[in-house]
Amino acid sequence: MHTPVISGSGVFTPAHVITNDELVVAFNAYADRYNLENASEISAGDLPEKAHSSSDFIVAASGIHQRFVMDKTGILDPGIMHPILPQRDDETPSIMAEMALEACTKALEKAGKTAADIDLVIVAASNLERAYPAVAIEVQALLGANGFAFDMNVACSSATFGIQTASDMIRAGSVRAALVVNPEICSAHLEWRDRDCHFIFGDVCTATVLERKSDVTTPHFEVLSTKCLTQFSNNIRNNNGFLRRSRPGGMQDRRDMQFMQNGRKVFKEVLPIVSRHILSHIESEGVKPDQLRRLWLHQANKAMNDFIGKKVLGRVPEPHEQPNILQDYANTSSAGSIIAFAKHSDDIAPGDLGVICSFGAGYSVGSVLLKRGA
């Protein structure tokens, strides 16, 4: 059996940024326009009036201050309210593959590897821009990587489930070095016309290089173990899919074709699952909470992370023990915990332990216990 390590990570950050204030101005203009256009139905009680959003609410409810997106013009146009990402011809690299390239290049550079060293590419994300061919195979070809590639989707837990998959293959010897890539264009499945959630998501791509410990040439983290868990829930759901055309009314502008969640229930139900999951994972490895130097948590909500950090460590974590990036990036689905890891792991001392943990739709939870290599 080989020992898997994470030897590199990289982040692609889109060029467009939207502050809460910009977002709220656009949403409120859209709501005013909607209320005017539907004034008679609203006054007859047939339609509810759309209420305004507010930056203060967004910061208080989520801790989010801004988000990066692939296109802000459509999102901020009250007559459009979604990103405009034109279809590319089939010979041009697809948008997810393009995002992946920059994140992979940075991760490979950090690992001191070239694409030719890679023999597995997993694109693990909440949404994939087409059914087939796999985006991962396109990324493999554009990079010039060897071996094989495939896509997988476990919503917000895609990255950690991908890391478990790659780690297990490295342990077993079926691959030597892997790239796990998470291109998340959450702006395309977010319902920007719904004030309950319009602030939640942003776009990004992260990449992680995993390889055999015996091959590593740069500072790295040994993957001590991984643990994945799923428990079915409809509280985060998106009904879009290939059966849409075949269903009566399926092609209409329907709310359930975008991200839907019962946020309060998610909050209440997921928190205990996640803190129990991390504690039982480290216990099974003989690790005590006070041995953890860092928690790189999923980045959905600051209050959620504060709660999990306190439950796991048994005290309020210091900011450096549980770094948040959601104030800058918002929720980037599976990529969030990997952004936190990529930006806040260089200072960890050899021998120190940390946990990457993601959680979300499914429900799904994935944790990766890491030890800084010598």
The partner residues of 182 in beta bridges, in order of sequence, read 206
Q: Is the dihedral of CA 277, 280, 283, 288 positive or negative?
A: positive
Contacts with ligand COA in 297-316 (CB under 6 A)? 300-301, 304
- Per-residue x/- track, 88-117, ligand COA (CB under 6 A): ------------------------------
Please say which residue, 215 or 269, places its beta carbon nearer to ligand COA.
269
Quote the least distance from Cβ 304 to ligand COA, whole Å: 6
Determine, following the binding rule CB under 6 A, whether residue 66 of this chain makes contact with ligand COA. no
Catalytic pick from 156, 186, 205, 357? Answer: 156
- Binding residue for ligand COA, selected from 42, 61, 80, 152, defined by CB under 6 A: 61
Quote the least distance from Cβ 192 to ligand COA, whole Å: 11
Determine, following the binding rule CB under 6 A, whether residue 182 of this chain makes contact with ligand COA. no
Please say which residue, 210 or 361, places its beta carbon nearer to ligand COA.
361
Kindly state the number of chain residues that form the binding site for ligand COA, as judged by CB under 6 A.
21
Run of H or E residues at 348: none
Please say which residue, 209 or 266, places its beta carbon nearer to ligand COA.
266
Is residue 156 part of the annotated active site? The answer reads: yes
Look at residue 296 and give its three-state secondary structure. Answer: strand
Q: Is the dihedral of CA 87, 21, 66, 194 positive or negative?
A: negative
Quote the least distance from Cβ 181 to ligand COA, whole Å: 19
Determine, following the binding rule CB under 6 A, whether residue 185 of this chain makes contact with ligand COA. no
Quote the least distance from Cβ 126 to ligand COA, whole Å: 8
Q: Could you list the beta-strand ranges (E) of 200-325.
A: 203-212, 221-230, 236-237, 260-261, 292-297
- Per-residue x/- track, 193-232, ligand COA (CB under 6 A): --xx------------------------------------
Determine, following the binding rule CB under 6 A, whether residue 245 of this chain makes contact with ligand COA. no
**Environment class of residue 225 by beta-carbon count within 10 Å: exposed (0-12), middle (13-18) or buried (19+)?**
middle
Determine, following the binding rule CB under 6 A, whether residue 53 of this chain makes contact with ligand COA. yes
Determine, following the binding rule CB under 6 A, whether residue 360 of this chain makes contact with ligand COA. yes
Planar angle of CA 113, 334, 89, nearest 5 degrees: 75
Give me the phi and psi of 334, to 5 degrees please.
-65, -20
For the chain, give percent helix, strand, coil, nearest 5: 40, 25, 40
Run of H or E residues at 124: strand 120-124
Please say which residue, 57 or 150, places its beta carbon nearer to ligand COA.
57
Distance CA 281, CA 301 (A): 22
Quote the least distance from Cβ 358 to ligand COA, whole Å: 9
Question: Which of the stretches 11-19, 33-41, 56-64, 221-229 binds ligand COA when contact is defined by CB under 6 A?
Answer: 56-64
- Binding residue for ligand COA, selected from 260, 330, 361, 365, defined by CB under 6 A: 361
Q: Is the dihedral of CA 20, 30, 74, 262 positive or negative?
A: positive
Look at residue 217 and give its three-state secondary structure. Answer: coil
Contacts with ligand COA in 255-294 (CB under 6 A)? 261, 263-264, 266-267
Look at residue 115 and give its three-state secondary structure. Answer: helix
Please say which residue, 11 or 156, places its beta carbon nearer to ligand COA.
156
Please say which residue, 125 or 236, places its beta carbon nearer to ligand COA.
236
Determine, following the binding rule CB under 6 A, whether residue 62 of this chain makes contact with ligand COA. yes
DSSP string over 243-266: TGGGSTTTTS--GGGS-EE-HHHH
Q: At what angle do helices 263-284 and 302-313 cross, to 10 degrees?
A: 30
The one-letter amino acid code at 53 reads S
Residue least distant from ligand COA (Cβ): 263
Alpha carbon of 327 to those of 38, 59, 67, 197, 269: distances in Å?
35, 8, 8, 16, 23
Contacts with ligand COA in 319-338 (CB under 6 A)? 331
Interface ranges with ligand COA (CB under 6 A): 53-54, 57-58, 61-62, 156, 195-196, 236, 261, 263-264, 266-267, 300-301, 304, 331, 360-361
Active-site amino acid positions? 156
